[in-house]
């Protein structure tokens, strides 16, 4: 028997359903349902025939519908709120909540989850509390099908799961598997915004100081912003950026900063290190007279420091939005075309970089 496939535009726009398969196979649609689920009540030859017809017609189970019906039976008992998880590899809750940006990521995520009707659990993946194997069990128990890899640290615990079972979104964490959508602060926009505003304030010798680690973690977005802004100014104003090495702490970075400022006559430094102001002071430079300072990763408004206030809440919110869309459309596992979503920050004038007359 050859299945006749109606290829009129109307039929093409219509998704193949169980009933279509039933009509073709000349059985009731419940038979199709049972056959496709391999029910022993249906004779094997019939099952094979129905499966063949379903394949031919291109019938596909709708993962969203499956998720709904699988829970329909117990809806009158204690329906659980659908859970999503926010994973962190911070060593402990104190470290997590002590890092303002992490706290904001999570708060934003939880707020958006509430709007969309999910509950958002914070899980510590640090080898002590949870590891890859216990995490899978945890997800199974909580019927959790989607999670956010929340700005994992290097060094830190890394997870390896059967990615194909989950909808996954990463906040930063570009260094690790899996290849899925990433949501992050827009570091390139922050650098470009800083250049633009400093130019308006009258600065000309603008230098950028970032960590090598941060460049690698963002796929060179700081450098991209710096290079494209420098391409628009006279060659003499293009100050080569300074990169602090992996593992550099403030005490190692300070002398490097000092000699770089002296060598290039830097008027103002743009940095993603939140300690840039005390570092300049430690380098024996008067701020802002000898060196003005701009921080690219301010968490909250602070009149003393000029820079870019990052919208970490929005990163968390947007991550849940992307995750929710994946859950709704049935996307699981790694993405063939992983998108990157960047959230812009906003400029704040501050005493550390006053206008130049």
Partner 1 sequence: MKSRLNIDRTVAKTDAPRLPTMRDVAILAGVHQTTVSLALRNHPEIPVKTRERIRAFAEKIGYHPDPALDAFNFHRLANHPLRSAPAIAFISDLASGAAFEESAARRDVYFGARETAGRMGFVLERFFVGPQNLSPSRLNGILESRNIDCAIVVSFSLQTRELPLGWMRLCALKVESFHLQPQLDIITADHIQASRLALSQLWSLGFRRIGMVLTHSEDVRLAKLSRAGYLVELAGRTESVPIAPLYIDGVAPQNLPGHLAMWISKNRIEAVISDSSHILASMRRAGYAIPGDLGFASLDWARTDEGLAGVEANHHLIGQSAVELLAMRRQTNERGVREEISITFVPGSWHDGPTASRPGLVRHAEVSMPVREPALPASPSP
Residue 78 within binding range of partner 1, rule CB under 8 A: yes
Structure tokens at 160: 């390896």
Total interface residues for partner 1 by CB under 8 A:
48
User: In sequence order, what are the beta bridge partners of 348?
Assistant: 307
Q: What are phi and psi of 31, to 5 degrees?
A: -65, -40
Least distance CB 66 / partner 1 (angstroms): 10
Of positions 77, 94, 236, 286, contacts partner 1 by CB under 8 A: 77
Which of 134, 339 has the CB closer to partner 1? 339
Distinct helix (H) and strand (E) counts, the chain: 14, 12
The DSSP output letter for 235 is G
Among 5, 52, 154, 344, binds partner 1 (CB under 8 A): 344
**What one-character-per-residue DSSP string does 132-178 give?**
HHHHHHHHHHHT--EEEEE---SSS------GGGSEEEEES-TTSS-
CB of 100 to partner 1, least distance (A): 17
Distance, C-alpha 116 to centroid of its chain: 18
Query: Which tokens in the block code for residue 212?
Result: 């090598």
Q: Is 8 in the site for partner 1 (CB under 8 A)?
A: no
Query: Nearest 5°: phi and psi at 273?
Result: -85, 125
113-121, 151-159, 288-296, 299-307 -> range binding partner 1 (CB under 8 A): 113-121
Judged by beta carbon, residue 69 or residue 160, the one nearer partner 1 is 69
Residue 150 CA to residue 153 CA, distance in Å, equals 9
Q: How far is the CB of 329 from partner 1 (least distance, A)?
A: 7
How many CA atoms lie within 13 Å of 43's alpha carbon, on the beta-carbon side? Answer: 4
Q: How far is the CB of 270 from partner 1 (least distance, A)?
A: 16
Give residue for tokens 């290079």: 227
Please report whether residue 196 would count as binding partner 1 according to CB under 8 A. no
Q: Establish if 342 lies at the interface with partner 1 (CB under 8 A).
A: yes
Minimum CB separation from partner 1 for residue 335, in Å?
A: 10
In the shown chain, the binding pattern of residues 310 to 339 toward partner 1, with x for contact by CB under 8 A and - for none, equals: -x--x---x--x--xx-xxx-------xxx
286 in Cβ contact with 292 (< 8 Å): no
State the first-to-last Cα distance of the chain, in angstroms, to the nearest integer. 87
- Interface with partner 1 includes 340 (CB under 8 A)? yes
- What part of residues 249-308 is at the interface with partner 1 (CB under 8 A)? none
Among 24, 82, 271, 352, binds partner 1 (CB under 8 A): 82
The least distance separating partner 1 from the CB of residue 283, rounded to whole angstroms, comes to 26
Q: Round to whole Å and give the CA distance between 214 and 210.
A: 7
**Beta carbons of 175 and 325 less than 8 angstroms apart:** no
CB of 34 to partner 1, least distance (A): 21
- Toward partner 1, which CB reaches closer, 158 or 325? 325
Residue 306 to residue 226: CA distance in whole angstroms? 18
Q: Among 5, 15, 164, 165, indicate the residue that binds partner 1 (CB under 8 A).
A: 15
Which DSSP string corresponds to 49-63? HHHHHHHHHT----H
Q: Which of 89, 176, 172 is nearest to 341 (CA)?
A: 172
Among 28, 39, 61, 79, the residue binding partner 1 under the rule CB under 8 A is 79
Site map for partner 1, 212-251, x if CB under 8 A?
--------x--xxx-xx--x--------------------
Q: List contacts with partner 1 (CB under 8 A).
A: 13-15, 17, 62, 64-65, 67-68, 71, 75-79, 81-82, 115-118, 183, 186, 188, 220, 223-225, 227-228, 231, 311, 314, 318, 321, 324-325, 327-329, 337-344
């Amino acid at each position: 028997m050859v299945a006749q496939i109606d290829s009129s535009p109307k039929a093409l726009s219509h998704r193949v359903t169980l009933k279509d398969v039933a009509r073709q196979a000349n059985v009731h649609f419940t038979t199709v349902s049972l056959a496709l689920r391999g029910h022993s009540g249906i004779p094997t030859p019939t099952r094979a025939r129905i499966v063949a017809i379903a394949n031919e017609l291109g019938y596909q189970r709708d993962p969203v519908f499956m998720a709904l019906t699988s829970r329909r039976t117990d809806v009158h008992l204690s329906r659980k709120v659908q859970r999503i998880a926010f994973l962190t590899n911070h060593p402990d809750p104190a470290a997590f909540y002590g890092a303002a940006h992490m706290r904001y990521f999570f708060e934003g995520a939880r707020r958006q989850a509430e709007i969309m009707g999910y509950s958002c659990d914070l899980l510590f993946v640090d080898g002590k509390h949870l590891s890859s194997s216990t995490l899978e069990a945890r997800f199974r128990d909580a019927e959790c099908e989607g999670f956010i890899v929340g700005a994992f640290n290097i060094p830190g615990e890394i997870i390896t799961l059967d990615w194909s079972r989950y909808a996954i979104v990463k906040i930063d964490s570009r260094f690790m598997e899996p290849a899925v959508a990433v949501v992050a602060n827009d570091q390139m926009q922050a650098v470009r915004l800083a250049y633009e505003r400093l130019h308006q304030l009258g600065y000309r010798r603008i230098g950028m100081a970032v960590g090598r680690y941060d460049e690698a973690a963002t796929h060179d977005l700081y450098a991209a912003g710096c290079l494209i802004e420098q391409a628009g100014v006279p060659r003499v104003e293009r100050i080569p950026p300074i990169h602090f090495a992996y593992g550099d702490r403030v005490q190692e970075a300070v002398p490097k900063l000092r000699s770089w400022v002296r060598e290039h006559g830097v008027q103002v430094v743009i940095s993603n290190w939140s300690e840039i102001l005390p570092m300049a002071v430690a380098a024996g430079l008067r701020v802002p007279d000898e060196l003005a300072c701009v921080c690219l990763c301010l968490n909250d408004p602070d009149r003393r420091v000029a820079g870019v206030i990052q919208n970490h809440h929005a990163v968390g919110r947007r991550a849940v939005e992307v995750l929710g869309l994946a859950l709704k459309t049935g996307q699981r596992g790694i993405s063939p075309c992983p998108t990157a979503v960047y959230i812009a920050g906003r400029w704040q004038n501050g005493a550390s970089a006053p206008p130049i007359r």
